[in-house]
Amino acid sequence: MTTAADDLILGLIRIVDLPGLTAAAGQPLAAEDIEAVVREADRFAREAIAPGWQTADRAGARLENGLVRAPEHYLPLYGQWVEGGWQGLAAPEAHGGQGLPHALWSAVLELCSAADMSFTLCPLLTAGAVELLAHHATPDQAERWLPELVAGRWTGTMCLTEPQAGSDLSRLRARAEPAPDGSWRLFGQKIFISWGEHDLTENTLHLVLARLPGAEAGSRGISLFAAPRLLPDGRRNAVSCGGLEHKMGIHGSPTCIMLFDGAEAELIGAPHRGLQAMFAMMNAARLAVGVQGVGQGARALAMAETFAATREQGGKTIDQYPDVARMLAEMRATTLAGRLLALEAAASLDRARLLKSPEAEARLALLTPIVKAWCTDRGVEAASLGVQVHGGMGFCEDAGAAQILRDARIAPIYEGTNGIQALDLVTRKLPRDGGALLRTLLAEAVLVAPAIGQAAATVEQAIPAMLGAGGPVGASRFLDACGWVLGAAMVARAAAADPAHAATRDIFLRRLLPRAIAAAEEAMAG
C-alpha cells in the first residue's frame, strides 16, 4: 500500500512532470530534490505537527483579557515551522523565499493539513497574503512587508466578511477615512477571520476590504487596505479581537471577530479595485482549501485502514468484510483522485507563470472551482466513511475519527461555498469560451482511459444546458460530474505510471465513475 507521500512524489514527478516543467522554464528541479522535499515535509508533519492534533482540538484557542492564546504547543511548533523555512517554500526569491513551484507547496500543504488542519490554516493564509502583495503592493510596501511574511515572522489574514455581508460583499460597510499623513483610518467590524489574533508571532498584517468616502454602492466601490497589528514604532494599532466563534471543528484555529476603530492602514492597489486584488489571495486560498479537503480524506483513510486491519470481529479483521473493504476502497480512490487533481491545478499555475502559458492560465481558472468544491466534498465523505469504519468507537471523540469529520466540514463552506464555486464554473468560466476548454479536458480524459467515454459524453451533453438559463439550477451537480470524470482520468494516469494503483483505477471506473452520469443527468433535469 502506498502512502500519501509516495503518491505525491509520483504525482509531481511522473504525472504532472514537474522536472520537465521546471527544465523548460530554465529553472530545473531534479526528481531527487522533489522527493527530498516531500519526504522531509512528511517527516515534519508526522513527527512535529500530528502528535498534538487532538490536544489542540480539546484545548482550543482562548480569548483572555483581550489577547488570543493558541493551544500551548503551537508556539514552539510554529517556531519549528519558521526555522525549517517552510513558509517561504514557493515565495519569490526577491523577497527571501525559495521560489520553488506551487505544486511542491501544494504537496507540503496536504501533508501538514492532514496532520493538523487548524495549525496549517495559519501558514496557508500567510501564503495567500504573500501571493496578493507580490502582485499588488508597491515596491516600497513589498520591501517592508514581504520579507517578514515570507520568513514567517509575521502572519497574514484576509478580512472580508461582515455580519451583513457574507458571500455578498457588495453589502460591505467597513469604511476608510483619509488621514493628514496620507495614510488611512479603518472603521468597522469583520467576522469569521481565521487567525485574526494570536500569540504565535509578534505582528500580523490584516488585508482588509473597505469603502473610501463617496465610493459607489456595490462591489465596484470596494478598496483594499493593509493594517498591521503593530505599527512601525511599536504601538498597538487600533484593531482588536472582539470575540472568538465557538465552532463545530478546527478548534485550534482562532476564528475572530475583528474590530477596526480607526486602525492605521495603507491602500493596496488602485482605489475601488480592492475586490479584484483580493481575488489573488482568494483564488490561492480556494486551491489550498481543496488541498485541505484532500488532507482530511487522507487522514481519515490512514486511520480507518489502521483500525480495520487490527479490529477483529467474527474471527477475522474487519477489513476482510466486503462492506468495510468497499468503504476503504472508495476512500482510497477519491483521496487519490483529489490529490492528483489538486496537483494538476497547481502545476497549471506553475506552467502559467514559469512558461507564460495562456492555455495553462485558462486551465487553472477552470480547475480552481472544481478542485475547491469536488475535493472538499470528497474529503467530508471520506471523513464520514472513516467514522463508519470505526463503528461506535468512531462516534466517540477519543478515536479521533469524529474530529476529522468536524474539521473537514468547514472546507465546503469557507473561501466561497461550494455552491458559489459551481456558479463560478457555469456562469463565469464556461461562458469564456463556450465550454471549449472543458470539452478538451473531457477528450483528454477519454484518451487516458476509454472507459471514461460514456461519462465524458454525458457531461459534454450537459454543457449547453449549463450555458443556458438552467445553468445555475444544475450547477452544483454539473461541477460534481466534472470532478468525477476528471478525477477518474487522474487515477487512470496514476495506474499507468505505477501498477500499484491498478486496483484503485478499476474500482473508480467501475463503481464511482457512474456517479458522473447520474450527476450530469440531474444537472440537465434542472
Catalytic positions, written as ranges: 415
Helices (H), 68-101: 74-83
CA distance 507 to 502: 9
Residue 470: exposed, middle, or buried by beta-carbon count in 10 A (0-12, 13-18, 19+)?
middle
Long-range contacts of 352-357 (CB under 8 A, 24+ apart): 353/102, 354/21, 354/22, 354/24, 354/25, 354/27, 354/101, 355/21, 355/24, 355/25
What are the angstrom distances between the C-alpha of 457 and each of 298, 442, 485, 514, 517? Answer: 30, 8, 10, 12, 9
Q: Which residues pair with 243 in a beta bridge?
A: 257
Extract the C-alpha cell encoding 322. 466486503
Q: Return the ∠ at Cα 300 (arms to 523 and 16), rounded to 5°.
A: 65
Q: What is the C-alpha separation between 229 and 180, in angstroms, rounded?
A: 21
Separation between Cα atoms, residue 220 and residue 172, nearest integer Å: 11
- Cβ-Cβ contacts under 8 Å for 280 (sequence gap 6 or more): 131, 132, 135, 136
DSSP 215: P
CB 454 within 8 A of CB 516: no
* Three-state SS sequence of 402-433: HHHHHHHCCCCCCCCCHHHHHHHHHHHHHHHC
d(CA 100, CA 350): 10
Using the 8-state DSSP alphabet, how is residue 227 labeled? E
Which three-class secondary structure state does DSSP give residue 216?
Answer: coil
